């Protein structure tokens, strides 16, 4: 089924069209955006002018046409702060429906916060929890506190960046007095809800919306000298945000628009965004902002899906990571039995060689998910499929992973067949030295596991490893002689020996009928 979500915001109108899948996931097909700044009009006039209404109708009509072209079966449209607060808001939504056929539901701030929270919960790992979710739009700031079990508190404040900019920023670049006025307004609004927020004990701040994502992207670019490929689960320290904020307030909007990572259309709004995020961090005592690329429109899609098949997030906050990986694997028509066999053996190797690699539980999870993903590039071409695997991982919209973790998965996928990661590969170059070392350790284990299922027949049983003074002895039962696996092990062991500084030896024994059931292993491995 194809679902369309039309988010009629105070800054921008957005259209998201997705293809839903039987497992409850969805794949974005179309993203459209038109910046209308309706909140500015309402802030000045108190209502939407005829010119603003006509522009809104024109954009909705165009988005409706795009949805019809893509065979959307269910189109939902929500209006937010500008339509809520315009004195002629009801008349405007009636006109939109009459002239475009699109029925607009104007949602209150609490409902908006709930929908954003559901989207963030499905997109970003909420650990540690509870988390404070903040969605900064043009007309309002939605705040929600919750964890994987659900929402604990939600509110909406009149602190949108469009509203704050129009009412309080009087110079370009903003003056010290502008900054003081902005901070006083933000602090005054926050003071009414701060006790309720702090009583829920938020452990991290997760921000959604274009302004927060722009601040995180540009702050990272200022620090690192390059713009991050993705901002989903990108974490930026308060110190980095402060450094970028000082730069923002020193430049006119024309120069801010040229900063790395900044959308020129959002440059005027950045000063207000800086003040809001600084106030949130300082008032809550939190020290970083983590961003979510999913927000209201993804929440709208999830609401449609949950009508048919309610999602369960209550068991494990990391569930979204596995679900996102398996969704990408299925979209890539991966060889599930082979991937599960490799994942099973990779984990057995990991557990048996902890004394060598000293990896964490997080490393173990990354290895398992990398094993599931390692061959998805064959969906593009079997020739050089490692490059295609890396590309699909980097651009696959994986949820619940930090940008660093996505890079690590891409590096493992890129080099799982042969060679060592090189700095000429962008994802490897961007990793810190410790993360590069982690990649090499996990890659060494995955490469052996992949070689031991070279026939894709799952003929190698449970693996054990004995670490001796001068070698690592890998033993396992095999169904048959497994000559191809023995030969491939000789090719794949080199990286293991280079990374861990110890020779690796394979000893296979002929398995009896009752020693292991390869089909059963293939069905269960990698899904636990």
Could you report the per-residue pLDDT of 424-440, keeping only the tens digit for each? 898 999 999 999 999 99
Homologous superfamily assigned to 2-106? ATPase, nucleotide binding domain (3.30.420.40)
Asked: is 319-524 a CATH 3.40.50.300 domain? The reply is no
Q: Where in the chain is the domain with CATH 1.10.3210.10?
A: 319-524
**Which pLDDT band holds residue 311 (cuts at 50, 70, 90)?**
low
- CA dist 99 and 238 (Å) reads 47
**Which pLDDT band holds residue 2 (cuts at 50, 70, 90)?**
very high
Q: Averaged over 171-175, what is the pLDDT?
A: 95
Could you report the per-residue pLDDT of 471-525, keeping only the tens digit for each? 999 999 999 889 999 999 999 999 999 999 999 999 999 886 555 554 433 333 3
Integer-rounded Cα radius of gyration of the chain? 26
Higher per-residue pLDDT: 10 or 511: 10
CB neighbour list of residue 306: distance below 8 Å, 6 or more residues apart: none
Measured in degrees and rounded to the nearest 5, phi and psi for residue 489 equal -55, -40
- CA dist 404 and 429 (Å) reads 11
H or E element, residue 324? helix 319-331
pLDDT attached to residue 528: 28
Q: Averaged over 92-108, what is the pLDDT?
A: 96
Is 70 exceeded by the pLDDT of residue 78? yes
* Assigned token pair, 485: 């696996």
Could you report the per-residue pLDDT of 360-392, keeping only the tens digit for each? 999 999 999 999 999 999 999 989 999 999 999
Topology classification of domain 110-295: Nucleotidyltransferase; domain 5 (3.30.420)
- CA dist 120 and 150 (Å) reads 11
Q: Measuring CA to CA, which residue among 243, 224, 271, 134 is closest to residue 407?
A: 224
Q: Measuring CA to CA, which residue among 144, 152, 150 is closest to residue 112?
A: 144
- CA dist 485 and 493 (Å) reads 12
Q: Quote the percentage of the chain above a pLDDT of 70.
A: 94
pLDDT attached to residue 314: 47
pLDDT attached to residue 312: 52
The C-alpha angle with vertex 396 and arms to 372 and 16, in degrees rounded to 5, equals 140
* Assigned token pair, 450: 């992949």
Is residue 274 within 8 Å of residue 169, measured between CB atoms? Answer: no
Q: At which residue do the structure tokens 């929500």 appear? A: 78
Within 10 angstroms of residue 518's Cβ, the number of other Cβ atoms is: 17
Q: Measuring CA to CA, which residue among 92, 212, 93 is closest to residue 142?
A: 212
Alpha carbon dihedral 181, 277, 107, 324, in 10-degree steps, equals 170
pLDDT attached to residue 515: 56
pLDDT attached to residue 1: 86
Q: Measuring CA to CA, which residue among 40, 37, 49 is closest to residue 163?
A: 40
**Which pLDDT band holds residue 26 (cuts at 50, 70, 90)?**
confident
Measured in degrees and rounded to the nearest 5, phi and psi for residue 123 equal -120, -30
* Assigned token pair, 126: 């909420």
Is residue 112 within 8 Å of residue 85, measured between CB atoms? Answer: no
Q: Where in the chain is the domain with CATH 3.30.420.40?
A: 2-106
Q: Measuring CA to CA, which residue among 409, 420, 488, 504 is closest to residue 456?
A: 488
pLDDT attached to residue 520: 37
pLDDT attached to residue 34: 94
Three-state helix/strand/coil letters over 467-522: ECCCCEEEEEEECCCCHHHHHHHHHHHHHHHHHHCCCEEEEEEECCCCCCCHHHHH
Could you report the per-residue pLDDT of 254-286, keeping only the tens digit for each? 999 999 999 898 999 999 999 999 999 999 999
Q: Sign of dihedral through CA atoms 119, 125, 130, 136? A: negative
């Amino acid at each position: 089924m194809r679902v369309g979500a039309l988010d009629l915001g105070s800054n921008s109108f957005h259209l998201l069209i997705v293809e839903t899948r039987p497992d409850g996931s969805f794949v974005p097909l179309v993203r459209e955006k038109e910046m209308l700044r309706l909140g500015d009009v309402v802030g000045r006039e108190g209502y939407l002018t005829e010119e603003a209404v006509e522009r809104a109708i024109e954009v909705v009509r165009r988005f409706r046409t795009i949805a019809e072209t893509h065979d959307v079966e269910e189109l939902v449209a929500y209006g937010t702060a500008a339509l809520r607060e315009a004195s002629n808001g009801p008349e405007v939504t009636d006109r939109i429906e009459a002239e475009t056929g699109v029925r607009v539901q104007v949602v209150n701030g609490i409902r908006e916060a709930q929908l954003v929270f559901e989207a963030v919960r499905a997109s970003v790992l909420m650990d540690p929890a509870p988390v404070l979710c903040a969605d900064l739009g043009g007309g309002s700031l939605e705040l929600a506190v919750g964890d994987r079990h659900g929402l604990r508190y939600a509110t909406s404040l009149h602190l949108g960046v469009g509203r704050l900019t129009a009412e309080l920023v009087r110079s370009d670049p903003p003056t010290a007095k502008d900054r003081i006025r902005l901070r006083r307004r933000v602090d005054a609004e926050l003071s009414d809800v701060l006790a309720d927020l702090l009583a829920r004990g938020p452990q991290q701040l997760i921000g959604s919306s274009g302004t927060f994502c722009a601040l995180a992207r540009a702050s990272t670019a200022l620090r690192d000298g390059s713009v991050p490929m993705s901002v989903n689960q990108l974490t930026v320290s308060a110190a980095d945000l402060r450094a970028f904020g000082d730069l923002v307030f020193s430049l006119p909007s024309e120069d801010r628009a040229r900063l790395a990572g900044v959308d020129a259309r959002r440059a005027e709004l950045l000063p207000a965004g800086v003040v809001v995020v600084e106030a949130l961090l300082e008032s809550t005592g939190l020290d970083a902002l983590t961003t979510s690329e999913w927000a209201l429109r993804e929440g709208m899609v999830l609401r449609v899906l949950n009508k048919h098949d309610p999602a369960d997030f209550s068991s494990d906050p990391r569930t979204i990571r596995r679900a996102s990986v398996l969704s990408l694997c299925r979209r890539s028509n991966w060889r599930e039995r082979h991937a599960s066999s490799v994942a099973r053996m990779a984990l057995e190797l990991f557990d048996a060689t902890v004394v060598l690699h000293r990896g964490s539980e997080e490393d173990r999870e990354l290895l398992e998910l990398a094993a599931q993903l390692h061959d998805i590039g064959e969906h593009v071409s079997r020739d050089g499929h490692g490059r295609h695997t890396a590309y699909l991982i980097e651009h696959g919209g994986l949820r619940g992973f930090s940008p660093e973790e996505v890079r690590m998965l891409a590096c493992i996928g890129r080099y799982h067949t042969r060679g060592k990661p090189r700095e000429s590969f962008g994802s490897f170059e961007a990793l810190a030295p410790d993360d590069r070392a982690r990649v090499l350790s996990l890659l060494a284990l995955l490469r052996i596991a992949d070689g031991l299922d070279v026939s894709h027949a799952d003929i190698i049983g449970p693996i054990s490893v004995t670490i001796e003074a001068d070698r690592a002895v890998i033993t396992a039962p095999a169904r048959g002689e497994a000559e191809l696996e023995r030969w491939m092990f000789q090719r794949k062991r080199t990286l293991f020996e280079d990374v861990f500084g110890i020779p690796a030896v394979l000893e296979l024994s002929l398995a009896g009928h009752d020693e292991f059931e390869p089909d059963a292993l293939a069905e269960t491995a990698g899904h636990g």
